Amino acid sequence: MPFEATRRAVSQIPLLNTHAGPRDRALWPQRLKEEYQALIQFVEQNKAADNDWFRLESNADGTRWTGTCWFIHELLRYEFRLEFDIPVTYPDTAPEVAVPELDGKTAKMYRGGKICLTEHFAPLWARNAPRFGLAHLMALGLGPWLAVEIPDLISKGHVVHKEGQREAAAE
């Protein structure tokens, strides 16, 4: 049943029409506009479902994205910085999302905090390129990764809530 909820949520994210990457100076602005529209719709959909969990912003040309994501576990909010660059072969290649502060804390991460999406997400992206965009990356890539990895990292003590860190520092 969680798959149905995911499928329903993702089906509400608009598919993108413009097949252009950052090197395509003529069509990239149109693709970027579609990306923003899909992201806005996804964020609004999440807020309506009381499931707001990330913020993103890009540089002026839309090739570097930064923001924060958070995960609620046992009523505590764990917040992380995230970043990614749009690959030159985008949209045929998905961006590699990095959560730098989790670098080295899980086996499902590599090269400077980039999360591993090769096993499950990469084939899905390949089948749906160029219709998938950044909202799909968040919904089907980062979101499920956080849902699996963060509780495990917390249970192993690799991630500690900020309140717990302050208490340990005070002792």
Instruction: Provide the annotated active-site residues.
Output: 116
| Residue 128, both tokens | 């749906």
Measured distance CA(156)–CA(169) in Å, rounded? 19
Q: Kindly write down the DSSP assignment for every residue of 91-149, as one continuous string.
A: TTS----B-GGGTTS-SSEETTTEE--TTTHHHHHHHHTTT--HHHHIIIIIHHHHHHH
Q: Kindly write down the DSSP assignment for every residue of 47-91, as one continuous string.
A: HHTT---EEEEE-TTSSEEEEEEEEEETTEEEEEEEEEE--TTTT
User: Contact 40/57 with Cβ under 8 angstroms?
Assistant: no
Measured distance CA(37)–CA(46) in Å, rounded? 14
Measured distance CA(50)–CA(149) in Å, rounded? 21
